[in-house]
Every structure is written in C-alpha cells, then in structure tokens.
Structure 1
Amino acid sequence: MAGPTTESCYVGVDVGTGSVRASIVTKSGKALASSTQETKTWRDPHDHHVFEQSTTDIWSRIGVAIKDCLSASGTEPSAVKGLGFDATCSLAVTDFGGEPVIVTKGEQIGGHGERNIILWADHRAEEEAELINRTGSVVLDYVGGKMSLEMEVPKILWLKKHMSPERFSQCQFFDLPDFLTYQATRDSSRSTCSLTCKCSYVANSGWQKDFFEQIGLKELSERGYAQIGAKDGEDVLIAGMPVGEGLSKNAAEELGLLPGTPVGSAIIDAYAGWLGTIAARFADDKQGLSEVPTIEESGHRLAAVAGTSTCHIVQSPSGIFVNGVWGPYKDPILSGRWMNEGGQSSTGQLIDFILTTHPAHPELVELGKKVQKPIHSILEERLEKLRMESGVATLTELTKDLHLYPDLHGNRSPIADPRMRGSIVGLELSNSLNDLAKKYHATLLAIALQTRHIIDTLNAAGHHISSIYMSGGQAKNAGLMQLFADVCGMPVVLPPDSGGAVVLGAAMLGRLADEFAQGGGGSRAKFEGGAGGEVVGHYGRDDTAWYAGVPKSLPKREEAA
C-alpha cells in the first residue's frame, strides 16, 4: 500500500435496513475505500408486524466501517474534513442523556436496553395511524392525504399507549438520521428532511399544536417539542448545514476521526440517493454527452432508490399535492425547493421472498454454485430458453397467464393502504425450476408496473418526469432495469456503483458542512467526474460524470422553518 493519504476527503455513512456502509470520498467524487457491516434486526415470532433494531449496534458497526476505510485507504484522520450521515426513516428512542430506551412491548418497555429502534418496516402502529387519518388535520395535506404507519408520529403514539407516563416523559424521539448526528455531536438539532418528511413538521408553519393535542400527544407541545425536535423550529437545519461543534471527543474516538470534524445535517437514505444520482450526466447514441443539468432540469428526473423497499423522489420549484404520495415537503435538501416521495413497501424483500419460499430454491442455489453464476443470471438464462422453446416474442407473453400483485406488505403509494395484501393468479401444479423462473419474472414485472403507476400519478398531478435515475442493490439486476425502461417508457440511468450512490450523497453532506463551517457557503460544492455509468435499454451506454447542485449560500434558520 502507498503511504498515508493526506488529500482532503470526506466520509459518508449510509445506514440501510440490514447494514451500515461507510465510504471515504475525495473532492472529485472518487471513493478511496468502502466498508459494509451487517446490523441486527429483531423480529417477534408471534407478531409479523414487529421489526426492531439497536442504536448501540448500529453505532458500533459505523465505527468498524469507518476505521476499515481509513485503514484500507491509508487515509490520515486529519485528512477527513467532513462527515455526513443518511439512514432509514426509523424511530430511535433515548432518554435525555442519550441512553437507549426499550421499545419492545412488555414490562420492560420504556426502560434502558438495547432494542430501542422501531424500524421503518414495523407496522405495529396501524390503529394509531387510522386515528390520525380521521382527524382531517392540515398535517395530512402534506403526506398525500393519509399518514403512513411507517412514519414517526403513529409510532410515538403507540409508545405512549404502551409505556408508563413517567417513562414516556423521559424519552427523546429521533428519526434515525437525526439520532446519528446527535450521537456524533451531542447537539440535538434536527434536520428539515427528517422533521418535514416523517415527523409532521409542516412547511412554512412548523409544528401544529392542535394536531398533537387532537391525537393525544399534547405532552409534546407542552414541553416545547423538546422530545421530538427543537421548539418552533429554532434548531432545524437544511441538509449539510454544520451540526453543533462537530464531532465530540467521545464520538471521534469511537469512529477513529478527530474531534471537531464538521458533521453535516443528515438526510433520509432515499434523499441521499437523490443527491448522489439526480444531477448525473449521461450519453446516448444520438445526442452525445449531456450537459450538466440545471436544478430545473433535474425536476424531470425521478430518483428511485431500490433496496429492501423502493423510494421515488422528485423535486419541484413549488409544492405539488399528489393523492397517495408523500409530500409536498419543503426544504428537505435544497432551500426553497419542494419534494414528493412515492414508494413501494416491499421490492427487494419481495423478490427474495418469492425466491426463497419456492420449493426449487435449494436447487437454484446449488446450480449457481456449480456453474459459478449469480442465481438471477441463471433465472434469466432459463427464462430466455423457455421463451425460445415456446416460440413467443417476449417474456411477458411467456408469462401471460401468470399474474402477481406485489403488495404483500401493504401499499405505500399511490393507494396508500398498509392493509393491502398480495396475490398470485394462474398457478400451475409445478414446483420446478422453470416454475420458479416464471414467478420470478412475474414479480419483476409487477414491481415495474407499480413504478409506472406511481410515475403516472405524479405526472397527472403536475410533475413532468421523463427519466429514472436508479440506485441501490436492485440496480444490479439488468433484467429488472430493462423492464423499468420498457414499462415506464423512459430512460433508466444507472450509477457505476449501485450501492455507492447513496453513501456518496452522505459524503456530500460532509463536504457541505466543512465549507459552511469555514464560511465558504458561496461554493457550489460539486463532485465532478471520475465515475462511469450506463443508460439502460435502447439509450446506449457511456460514462457518467456526477454533479450535485446545492444552495449557493448558507440558508438562514428562519428560511428552514
């Protein structure tokens, strides 16, 4: 390995549903090193709604990942000029000293213990969400007309119902990205992204006292919202703004970095995917390399972040109200800009479920080991063979009698009903590998068709989406990406590293924090060049240069409220 790296660089941390990923990124956007560490999730064998995690476990995995990156790249801690986080929109609960508080139903709930995160996928708060959705509050206008049980307020209300008043009063409630900046700095400032997107903080008017009183959470307003966020938005920060005084001494030791390293205000993982992909340049056969897009042009691009679930992010200069689609949210990343967020509750998870529950799955795994190919490639080859043998033109025609509805874990958008369930119609009396291949294709097609449903709904409401920018693990699935291009009738642009796009967005927050901390808010803070990419389908392939537009100056705090 070469000598120690002293070039200025930035650390991004992405906390996903099942793992933590850290990356060290240069000013040019080049990743020097990356490390992924698995995290723990607890399930209740008697209640399939329950998904719980631990901030202690996640934080320790972050430390391992960052130290791995420093070691692998030879980067000196002094070269790291900024740190940024993104995470899933899960509810993290601590006391006011930062100690984790148990969220598991039972006698221990509200006491100190490891299981202190209600994961985004946890659906225990169905009754609480239904109560909220009967209020008719203005809050609902900014979540597509119906609040999801995946958001934080229904979960907080559930905790109040199952926790003693004494214990509940001692709790701090964080959207997970904000917990990470709190743990890093011990500053309790919250992000506009988390508060507006998941915590019922309304654009231009802030906290809605009447709403919290109406649903039975008057304690939050009576205490000046100290349990859920800063009073009247006083400490609400736009993405990348410096949090507190940077890394605390303890956090710096745990992460292997220097105290005082600037920490950028965090964002939800899907929004980091938007930041890391949406301004990419790409090439097609007819037009050549595209120009660096304007902020206005990026509004025609949908960022699809596809992992366990899929989120669909699009921005606009003014708020667009879309029934069944979350938002419009003001300032979640860029000051003065609005965003809508569609989503599918189960996509990667659905594909895994269809594969692993089929009787032929063990045979597929063994075949993959024998021929040393990914199982998805084997399935694609099997499907093509079946298509040719059947004498049909497309795989859709091959599976025309097999229909799969994908909402096995509820519908996030645009039907917005967590009680929706999936179905398969057209089953054959077969447990063969051929049957598994057909069900696999039907699953991919269902996911693509539902994406088309979401895009059509967004465009009908006033958006003008004309391309999809993918990131996340599913971007590796060439067959699925081609289906997106075909079904949605638009180009699908892929990053060269499908998993790295989101953590790149997090690293950008670290760079912004560094520039803002130095009084350099006039810079556009862009990550240029150094990355390759491809455009799916008939749009050809070429290199992609990544670029991120950010506020030209540090927004005033009152602009974020």
Structure 2
Amino acid sequence: MSDSYYLGIDVGTGSARASLVSATGKVVASSTVDTKTWRDPDDHRIFEQSTDNIWASICECVKTCLAQSGIAPEAVKGVGFDATCSLAVCDADGAPVQVTRGAGLGEHGERNIVLWADHRAEREAEVINKSGSVVLEYVGGTMSVRFIPLSSSRNGDPQNPLAQNAHAPPPSSRAANSSTSPDFLTYRATGDTARSCCSLTCKCSYVPHKAGWQDEFFEKVGLGEMVKEGYRAIGAGRVAGAGHGGGGGESAVLSPVLTAGQPVGRGLSKKAGEEFGGLREGTPVGSGVIDAYAGWLGTVAARCVGEEEKEPSLDESRHRLAAVAGTSTCHLVQSPEGVFVPGVWGPYKDPVFRGWWMNEGGQSSTGQLIDFMLTTHPAYAELQSRAKAQGTNIFAVLTSLLESLRVSADVATLTELTLDLHLYPDLHGNRSPIADPRMRGALTGLTLDSSINDLARKYLATLQAIALQTRHIVDTLNEAGHEVREVYVSGGQATNRGLIQLLADACGVPVVLPVDYGGAVVRGAAVLGRFAAEVARAQKEGDGGMGEREQDEMLWRIMVEMTPPGTRVSPAASAKEKKLLEAKYKIFRESIEIQKRWRDEMEEAAK
C-alpha cells in the first residue's frame, strides 16, 4: 500500500482541516481554513455555524492538500470525517434551515448549526433530567445542556414542558432532517443517510444494547413526534423490529447505524469528488465520529520513543486515557464492559469498537480558560510587547517570568508561588464529574497587584486548576472501576510543557505526547478512511462476513500502524511539591462544596 493515501477531514470549533496520510502514518500534506461562528450579543449562550460555510472550507482544504502533495487524486483510497458533535438542521434536500431565533427560525438560512458550546437549552435540560428515563443512566445520571435531543424537535403539545421550546424550529418549519455534524458530512460526501453509532449513542440518547431509540423517553419529555415519525427528524428512521432501534414506531425510511469507519453507502459521490478536486467517485468513506473520538483513535495506539518494539494490544487501550485538549478538553477511556461513572458520560456501547464501551469525561473550558485569564488581565498588552521584543511567544515569556519569580522568592518549586492563590476553573459550567452547567469560576487570594508578575502567577494558577480538575475526573473514573495508567494528550495544549508536567504530577501517572500534537484528531479521521477502504475491499473480494472481533483487530492494527511513537513525560514532583499539590487538590474539592452551599443559600434567600 506504499502508493495509497487516506484523507482525514476534521471540523473543529473554529476551523476545518484536511490531511493526506500514508498507510504508515506519514502526513504528506495538511491544510486548515477558519470557519465562521455567530454569537448573539444579547445572549452569551448562543453559538451558531453554517454547513455551507464548513463544506466550502473543507473543499478548499482538500484541494490545497492535493496541490501541495502532488499526489494523483486516484491515489486517495479512503476518506474519513470527524467533527464537533453539533446539531445541523436541513430540509429534506439537505438545504440549510435557520436555527437563529426570531422571524427566520425554521426557514432557509445560512445559520443552521447549533454549535456544541451552545447553552440555550438550559431549561429543557432541567426538564429532561427530571424524567427518570433509562437514557440518563448512560450519561452519568445527568444529561448535558449540549445533548442533541434538547433542541432538535418539539411536538407542539401546549401541556408538555418542552412543547414551547423557543429554540427549536416550529412543527410547520422547513426542517425535515436534523443530524450531528459528523453525520451531515458523510451525507454531504456520499448522499447516503447512514448514521454514526458514535454520534447517536454519545449525543442523541440512542442505546444500542437496549434496542436503540427509547420511545418512552422521547414521549415523556415532549418529543413524541419523533417516535411517530420513526425518528426521521434526527436522521435514523427505523422499521419495527429491524436491527438497531427495532420495536416501536414504524417508518418507511431506514437509515443504517454504522460503527466507526464502516463504509457509508456507495462511497464518495460524483459531485463531492469533483468538489474535492477530482477524487474518484466511489472512493470509500468511513462512518464519522465526534472529534474527541478521532483524537482517541489518533493517539492511544502509540508506542513510546525508545520502546518501538513493544506493540500495544487492544486490551491495553482500557488503561490509556485520551485527553483531547483544545478550547475544551474531552477525556476518553475504553473498557470491554460498561462502567457506570457518576457525572461522566456513558458508558456508551459501540462508539468506536464493536463490543467495547466508552466513558467520556470533559472540562468545559481549558484552552479557552487560559486565553480568558490572560487576555482580560491589565498586563496582557505588556506581555504581548515583551514577546514581540524577544522574538518569542507569550508562553515562553510567562515561563521565564515564573522561573525568575521562583529564584527571587528563594523557593524550590513554582507551586510555592501560588500558596495563597487558588482558581476554581468552571467559568463555563462543569461537565465532569459534577455535571452541573450552573457551576462558575472562583479566584481566591486577590491583591492590589495588576503587574505582569501578577499575570504570571494567575497563569500558573490556571494551569494548576486544569491539572487538578483532570485529577478529579481520573479519580472518579478509577473509583468507579477503571484503571487509568497513562494519559495521552493531544491538541494545542500538548505544547505547554508546564501544563503537561503538572498533569503528570497532579494525576500521578505518565503523560504521553504525540509526535504531531495538533494532528492527532485529523489523523484519527484518516484512520477511519483506511479502515473503510480495507473493509470495502474485503467485501468486494467476498469476505464481507467479518465478525466483530475480526473488524476490531483490523481497526486496532491500522491504528498502531498509522500512529507514530510518542514521548512519555513521567511524574517528577518532589516530596514537598506532592504535598503542596495534595493540599491544593483538597482546597479544589472544598471549593465545589462551598459554591454549591452558597448557591443554595442565595436561592433560598431570593424566594
């Protein structure tokens, strides 16, 4: 397969990216194009995007990759997609339907994606979380405000608590087909309406091992119209008693539910092939996954530098936590059996490997939190000026400043610079393991200091808070039955060695960094493209009857072959620093209880 290449396409929060990757994992070309996001100036909860804008950005990226690499289009043997798990709303022909509130809601319009970060459905989340449905057992007991059922439909019943959802298109609108972003992309690429088990299970209340869709849940929370229409509104229609989702309402439409990377339809459509710069019609397209899961695919099979001869097994994946760190951070760990973890999403059945389960923790704001703490400080302009004068970046300046402060204070560790400074990081609500969107940030230890040295200390406190919250998630996973032995970090935060060392020290386990820290997610998408190509070839050659185990082994082999060795960063805290971090962790946990108590007291006083 030396002349075979695989196209990975990743749609993140603010950009689309494409990479051409060889069968050995070498990235031969990559391109990124920014995408549009609309915010409501009167409502900080609103985040919207456009499928037309995203698709145009993808096409530009793919054409650039082909031009940069000089690779003939016919050498691209498979295509894989990942995207944020956002809600895309279209009409029956795939044309965008506006989700922006106001007179245009439900009509044709560019702004047709409710982005994952959107929190407009807080009230609806409260209603659903009181339903007592079995689906709540598979999201850590509490459904996040970001889950798809919260804003995907309403049935118009004035007696039902979700019927008057002002955020969802009205029943009379043009909206006929809602889907997660990964499924929209495979639909746009192939014309096939197959849906991803990853998307449906992780964000749409689909429970594969319990016959799929749970009619009782959707009827109870006011989405009974979905049941009547065979769940056509969110893309996966069904026939009574047929496979996934069998039982309950009937529908003339049946959209298959595919696990990660399984071939979608007949492959790339002629139109999509042309839009991608001449890719061959019929090129296999793998069923897509949520972007964090692509990051898991692109990292956890890695060997470590110096240990290349040790080939990891699929069984070892259960001890490897992937931390996909960007604007926010997702924490993913796989297990052969379902592990129920309070406040952590899952366990999800079959999101990547058939027969395996996944738990998904997360921090609502990490990279975004660092940016906020820096850019809102009075000394930020001075920090930028120093970086420019020194010909470096702001993080290098901050690292140097902190070391100078440590020497001046005559202390052994940086942690001693923040003995009285403690940040609780949930400025955008808590995703895991508290699962409370109303949690807010807190900063203790303020002084009348607005200097650049104060900025450096607050930057350090921010990194500490992110590391301590990661430990909170890891501790909760392990207490429930997981056994995390290593953390595999990808995304922009992997370049921050101060944060990485803090993660290792706070969690007490090694952290593994990929060679291509920023390309792990799109590499995972390319893995899906290769898997689709190999499965399609096997089916064409008459070996289409592979069982779950054979397909699992094939996918894991591809992951190992396409993931370069990573660098291991081991815990290195001295005894004193361990003691200090332990004390900070205790304060971190106490901050949660204090905030909850204060909130209850204020709500009681406001009655």
TM-score (norm 2): 0.85
Q: How far is the alpha carbon of 1:526 from its aligned partner?
A: 4.6
- C-alpha spacing 1:529/1:510, structure 2 compared with 1 (3 Å): closer
Q: Is the 8 A contact 2:308 2:565 kept in 1?
A: no
Q: Which residue of 1 aligns with 2:513?
A: 494
SS in 1 for 2:538: coil
Contact 1:102 1:108 in 2 (8 A): yes
Give the match's secondary structure for 2:429: coil
3-state SS of paired residue (2:281): coil
Cα displacement (A) at 1:293: 1.5
1:87 paired residue number: 83
Q: Residue 240 of structure 1 corresponds to which residue in structure 2?
A: 261
Matches of 1:165 and 1:348 in 2, distance apart?
36
- Cα distance change, pair 19–137 in 1 and its aligned pair in 2 (3 A): same
RMSD: 1.7
Which residue does the alignment assign to 1:312? 331
Query: Which one of the candidate residues 39, 42, 46 is aligned to 1:43?
Result: 39
Once residues 500 and 414 of structure 1 are traced to their aligned partners in structure 2, the CA distance between those partners, rounded to angstroms, is: 28
What does residue 52 of structure 1 align with?
48
1:101–1:171 contact (8 Å) kept in structure 2: no
Match of 2:195 in 1: 190
CA contact 1:12–1:23 (8 Å) conserved in 2:
yes
Instruction: Tell me the TM-score normalised to structure 1 length.
Output: 0.92
- Are 1:6 and 1:78, in contact at CA under 8 Å, matched by a contact in 2? no
2:538 & 2:226 partners in 1: Cα distance?
35
* Partner residue of 1:259 out of 246, 260, 281: 281
CA distance in 1, matches of 2:396, 2:14: 24
Looking at structure 1, the residues matched to 169 and 38 of structure 2 have their Cα atoms a distance apart, in angstroms, of 23
- Distance apart, 1:167 and its partner CA: 3.5
Whether 1:535 and 2:575 are equivalent positions in the alignment is no
Structure 1 equivalent of residue 217 of structure 2: 211
- Give 5+ residue unaligned stretches, structure 1: 540-561
Q: CA deviation at 1:290?
A: 6.3
Counterpart CA distance in 1 for 2:116 and 2:563 is: 34
Equivalent residues of 1:27, 1:527 under 8 A apart: no
2:205 aligned counterpart, secondary structure = coil
Q: Which has the larger radius of gyration?
A: 2
User: 1:417: which partner in 2?
Assistant: 436
> Deviations 1:284-311 (Å, cap 9, x if unpaired)?
7xxx556212122110010000000000
Asked if the contact 2:20/2:28 (under 8 Å) is kept, the reply is yes
Cα separation, 1, equivalents of 2:63 and 2:218: 42
1:245-324 to 2 correspondences below 5 Å: 245-256=266-277, 257-283=279-305, 288-289=307-308, 291-324=310-343
Q: Identify the residue that residue 225 of structure 1 maps to in structure 2.
A: 231
In structure 2, C-alpha distance between the alignment counterparts of 1:170 and 1:41, rounded to whole Å: 21
2:491 aligned with 1:472, yes or no?
yes
- Correspondence 1:70-219 to 2 at 5 A: 70-157=66-153, 161-162=165-166, 165-168=170-173, 170-205=175-210, 206-219=212-225
Q: 1:33 aligns with which of 9, 12, 29?
A: 29
CA contact (8 A) 2:23 2:562 kept: no
Contact 1:11 / 1:23 at 8 angstroms: preserved in 2? yes
The one-letter code sitting in structure 2 at the alignment partner of 1:254 is E
The residue type equivalent to 1:201 in the other structure is Y
CA deviations 1:352-388 (Å, max 9, x no partner) are 0001111111111111111111111110110010011
Unmatched tracts of structure 2, length 5 or more: 155-161, 239-243, 245-254, 540-545, 573-607
How far apart, in 2, do the equivalents of 1:371 and 1:35 lie?
29
Could you say what secondary structure the match of 1:81 adopts? strand
Comparing 225-234 and 354-363, the one that deviates more: 225-234
1:31-85 CA distances to partner (integer Å, 9 max, x unpaired)? 0011111111100110000011111111100001111111101011100000000
Give 1:543's aligned residue: none
Tell me whether 157-166 or 198-207 shows the greater mean CA deviation. 157-166
Q: What amino acid maps onto 1:245 in structure 2?
A: R
Aligned to 2:598: none
1:247 touches 1:262 (CA, 8 Å); kept in 2? yes
- One-letter amino acid of the structure 1 residue matched with residue 138 of structure 2: Y
Q: Distance in 2 between matches of 1:502 and 1:416?
A: 25
Change in Cα spacing, 1:538 to 1:529, as seen in structure 2 (3 Å) is farther
CA contact (8 A) 2:97 2:174 kept: no
In 2, the alpha carbon distance for the partners of 1:534 and 1:300 equals: 17
More deviation in 227-236 or 440-449?
A: 227-236
Q: 3-state DSSP class of the match of 1:499?
A: helix
What code does the residue aligned with 2:26 have? K
Give the secondary-structure state (helix, strand or coil) at the position aligned to 1:469.
strand
Distance 2:355 2:104 in 1: 44
Change in Cα spacing, 1:353 to 1:470, as seen in structure 2 (3 Å) is same
CA displacement 1:69-104 (0-9 Å, x = unmatched): 111010111000000000111111111110001001
SS in 1 for 2:81: strand
Aligned position for 1:64: 60
By relative contact order (CA 8 Å, sep 6+), the higher-ranking structure is: 1
Contact 1:137 1:211 in 2 (8 A): yes
Aligned-residue offset at 1:203: 3.1
Q: 2:381 aligns with which of 354, 357, 362?
A: 362
CA deviation after TM superposition for structure 1 residue 170, in Å = 3.5
Q: Is the 8 A contact 1:29 1:527 kept in 2?
A: no
